[in-house]
Chain A
């Protein structure tokens, strides 16, 4: 057999006889010697070994039965809130541990028993099965083509062009009904993404205490999460509103603020930035008080809060929006309006 020939042109595999194989060797050292003769396992020739295997299989199946009974017993006996200490694992639920292990053993017993049975007691004689090409024979193909032509001609699909083309038109249009039905999945975007709950005169509420914040509460180096006044946890749209309105307050030494507008929009070194990352919207308050950087834990965009929230690393495309704040007559911090640009991730209409 030359090396460039297709292996399909090979000789039959049934040459099991070693004598025949030997003849081959002298002709072609690389020829397929055919399947090696079957060798017996111990279990094939020694009935005692076979019986040992059977007992092992039976033992595995029995252990499965025992484990299933143990599973049920554990389910009934162990309270759901019982904890135990298991050395390397920790303080774990006794029920979860017991059920998992017994189920594991019950399943393993069946699986290992079946496999051991197959490996040691069922025949391990290898059999060669022939393959047949998948392609149809030319006769079959000719018959199919002929049938198809006949069918196509009888339908008049090629000749009745008007009927055919209107059918195509109808089929193309009908899915539109389905598409139209999707309209009420949600509202039109409108300007929703441009507005938040912040507005002129809204007090900055400390999210930890839900009390309005005074400038003297916030010291240099601290980080404070804040909400707009009037946004409460139990309101039905709380999640949607906090997703845009979340704010973080930090205080810098005014001389450390590099950006002119940031300084203007701050109050006495207190700056209020949106907590929503401009990349894809993760809350971003991994604030480093010495470098004034905030880092996003999702994709590591890094913003400089001393420089107008500018992006200094990572995949975010624009600076973190700042909220303009001041102090009202009673000495509380308040917003001077909504954010001047949309908070959170960029979108096509953002501009």
Chain B
């Protein structure tokens, strides 16, 4: 060490300034070791790997614009009479929160733009997380060692919904106030302690005068703070695990093929931040979001039709809308199942996605690390489950907007509600069956392609008059890509009796696992991929086709 320090001292005089700063930082923070591991970190190129970046960047945009908005927003429910420039509100009584949002929109130069960027970015943030999560799900990127990172991502999605909802509520407009009234009903529906929760959250009866001031720190500090922590952890794990990659020539489970962080990804990812910001800025220049000036200030006795939350809460809204009005009265108490069941169902349905990696690894018994992504068709049961889940989700989104579907497609709102009630149960089942069949069909096609080559569309007439389509053999790269996946055998509980003929004790959970495993890997769930022998037999014959 001493010699190193000497060298260091000798060089100090002539080293360039940048290096001297880096030296200074390294001797206090150890940045060189950090940079050694990460500066030339390899990232594979694929568009679907950038969806998470869209989410990351929109989060940063939300924070930047959010800080700006806090400079002008007054989180207060004190009542004021508006005398600002927006004529249709002059003389109207409103909360300070609403009035300051009007000020941001009409008096602060650029305030409207920043408000719109903030809100559009929030919608995009949730949408990008959703798409990113689905990419990870359908390619099996959540498998070991990335299950914990999947959970972090899932939590980010869930907290993102809560943060979005609290932010949507802050301007205290007629639409968001109606949402808060709905939340009051939700709290009231909680058995035993419902009324207490309501009084404590609202500081008395709805709407009270405290709520906006209470939501404000939750929206600007508590939730984003937790999310920032999770986000950093999420990114550290992405670096630590190194990125997954799609199968292909030269790509194995023990390497990662791509381009280095410095310079290519520095430039691409850095540049992409500006592109995302640009798209959202243009969106905010041309399209209004949440025009609170036409929606009006909140009054508990006023309402507008088309009362909906932002899209990411549409799923919960749908559940609440299509639920039958069950209410049980016993021994002087009321169980408000019509509200409580959908509100419990909402996180439970989401959680089915959240815990999926653990369920799959238990069923398959697969304990190895996976860094090569699955093609969705090669995991038919998982893909079918995902599509079934998405179906349930989108059926409920339709339910959440049933009134607008009714007016825009000239349907009866009651029929749509019934359609959603049935579709929520039937849709996923049909989607599951159909998806699995499609996956198997695609597997068969892959098998045909490997064994018989690509259909070229060229028709050739043989000397004896027969017409055949010319099939072009695949390159070795393609052959490898189509055959590299594993086809595991289902887990079995083993013989029912041990070697002495005594009945073995087999736990129910084991039986269940074997059954599920069979549905994952059984004969009905995968088309055997072509073997080398089959391939050689066909290709050595030549002339065929």
Q: Which residues of A contact B (CB under 8 A)?
A: 3-4, 6-8, 10, 13, 21, 24-25, 28-36, 75, 80-81, 89, 93, 95-97, 99-101, 103-108, 110-115, 117-119, 122-131, 133-134, 182, 185-189, 192-193, 207, 225, 233-234, 236, 239-240, 242-244, 246, 275-276, 279-286, 297-301, 311, 313-318, 344-351
Hey, which chain A residues are within 8 Å of B191, CB to CB? Answer: 348
With A80-B109, A97-B286, A286-B305: A32-B278 Cβ-Cβ less than 8 Å: no
B498, CB-defined interface residue at 8 Å: no
B165 at interface (Cβ–Cβ under 8 A)?
A: no
Within 8 A of A (CB), among B2-38: none
CB-CB under 8 A from A315, the residues of chain B are 320-325, 338-339, 342
| A134 CA / B541 CA spacing, docked (Å) | 47
Contact of A114 among B242, B274, B300 (CB under 8 A): B274
- Contact between chains at A112 and B275 (CB < 8 Å): yes
Q: Which residue of A lies closest to B205 (CB)?
A: A240
Give every chain A residue within 8 A of B112 (Cβ-Cβ).
93, 95-96
Contact B325 A283 (CB under 8 A): no
A96-B116, A107-B278, A243-B205 are known; give 15 further A-B pairs, CB within 8 A: A13-B251, A29-B539, A99-B110, A99-B113, A100-B286, A118-B267, A122-B264, A122-B267, A188-B196, A239-B207, A297-B304, A344-B185, A347-B188, A348-B188, A351-B333
- Cβ B106 vs Cβ A81 within 8 A: yes
> Do B106 and A80 touch across chains, with their CB atoms under 8 A apart?
yes
Q: Which 6 A-B pairs have the closest CB atoms?
A: A100-B285, A280-B185, A317-B327, A114-B271, A35-B250, A111-B274
CA distance A86 to B245 in the complex (A): 46
The interface residues of chain A lying within 8 Å CB-to-CB of B337 are 317
Task: Contact check, A348 vs B333: say whether CB atoms are below 8 A apart.
Answer: yes
Contact, CB under 8 Å: A126 / B256: no
The interface bits of chain B over 157-190 (1 if a CB of A lies within 8 angstroms of the residue's CB, else 0) are: 0000000000000000000001001101110111
Selecting from B123-131, B390-398, B433-441, B475-483, the interface stretch reads: B475-483
- Which residue from chain A places its CB closest to the CB of B276 in the assembled complex? A111
Q: With a CB–CB cut-off of 8 A, which chain A residues contact B276?
A: 111
For residue B44, which residue of chain A has the nearest CB? A126
A7 touches B476 (CB 8 A): no
| Contact of B189 with A347 in the complex, beta carbons under 8 Å | yes
Q: Which residues of B contact A103 (CB under 8 A)?
A: 113, 278, 281, 285
The answer for the CA separation of A344 and B194 in the assembled complex, in Å, is 14
Q: Choose one: A7, A99, A101, A316; the contact of B338 (CB below 8 Å).
A: A316
Contacting residues, chain A, for B178 (C-beta < 8 A): 282, 298
Q: A283 with B303: in contact, given A110-B274, A134-B241, A317-B327 (CB under 8 Å)? A: yes
Q: Which residue of A lies closest to B185 (CB)?
A: A280
Whether A240 and B302, one on each chain, are in contact in the complex, defined by CB atoms closer than 8 angstroms, is no
Q: Cβ of B281 and Cβ of A107 under 8 Å apart?
A: yes
A279 proximity list for chain B (CB < 8 A): 185, 325, 338-339
Chain B 519-545 residues near chain A, CB threshold 8 A: 529, 531-532, 535-536, 539
Contacting pair A131 B201 (CB below 8 A):
no
Contact call A349/B338, Cβ cutoff below 8 A: no
Q: Is B258 an interface residue (CB 8 A)?
A: yes
Q: How many whole Å from A111's CB to the nearest CB in chain B?
A: 3
Show 13 A/B contacts (Cβ-Cβ < 8 Å), sorted by A.
A13-B255, A29-B536, A33-B477, A36-B477, A95-B112, A243-B181, A280-B320, A284-B303, A315-B323, A346-B336, A348-B335, A349-B332, A351-B334
Residue pair A89, B181 in contact (C-beta under 8 Å): no
**Given the complex, which residues of B lie within 8 Å of A107, measured CB to CB?**
274-275, 277-278, 281
- Of B334, B487, B529, B535, which one neighbours A348 at CB under 8 angstroms? B334
A7 to B204, CA, bound (A): 62
CB contacts (< 8 Å) of A347 on chain B: these are 188-189, 194-195, 198, 334, 336
Q: Cβ of B338: which chain A residues have Cβ within 8 Å of it?
A: 279, 315-317
Interface residues in B237-262 by Cβ distance below 8 A to A read: 240-242, 249-260
A105 and B285 alpha carbons, distance in the complex (Å)? 11
Q: Is B364 an interface residue when CB atoms closer than 8 A count as contact?
A: no
B529 to chain A, nearest CB (A): 6
Nearest residue in A to B196 (C-beta to C-beta)?
Answer: A189
Q: In the complex the two chains form, what is the Cα distance from A119 to B45 in whole Å?
A: 11
Asked if B41 CB lies within 8 Å of chain A CBs, one says yes
**Hey, which chain B residues are within 8 Å of A24, CB to CB?**
476
Q: Mark B258-296, 1 if CB is under 8 A from A, else 0.
A: 111001110110111111111101101110000000000
- Of all chain A residues, the one with the shortest Cβ separation from B337 is A317
Chain B min CB distance to A84 (Å): 12
* Closest chain A residue to B78, Cβ basis: A236
Q: Which residues of A contact B499 (CB under 8 A)?
A: none
How far does the Cβ of B127 sit from chain A's closest Cβ, in whole Å? Answer: 19
With a cutoff of 8 Å between Cβ atoms, the chain B residues found around residue A125 in the complex are 259
Which B180-229 residues have a C-beta within 8 angstroms of A? 181-182, 184-186, 188-196, 198-209
Distance in Å from the Cβ of B371 to the closest Cβ of chain A?
6
B278 with A113: CB separation less than 8 A: no
Q: Is the CB of A243 within 8 A of B301?
A: yes
Residues of A contacting B453 in the complex (Cβ-Cβ under 8 angstroms): none
A186 touches B536 (CB 8 A): no
Which of B390-438 touch A at CB < 8 Å? 402-403, 413-414, 417
Q: Contact between A115 and B267 (Cβ–Cβ < 8 Å)?
A: yes
Picked from A36, A113, A192, the residue with its CB within 8 Å of the CB of B205 is A192
Give 1 or 0 for each of B364-389: 1 = CB within 8 Å of chain A CB.
Answer: 00001101100000000000000000
Cβ–Cβ contact A280 & B182, under 8 A: yes
Minimum CB–CB distance from A31 to chain B (whole Å) comes to 7
A239 to B181, CA, bound (A): 12
Known: A6-B368, A282-B303. A129 touches B188 (CB 8 A): no
Residues of A within 8 A of B275 (CB): 107-108, 111-112, 115
For residue B279, which residues in chain A have a CB less than 8 angstroms away from its CB?
Answer: 104
- Supposing A114-B271, A123-B264, A315-B320 touch, asked if A33 and B249 sit within 8 A by C-beta, the answer is yes
Q: Which B71-98 residues have a C-beta within 8 angstroms of A?
A: 79, 85, 93
In angstroms, Cα B303 to Cα A31, docked, is: 66
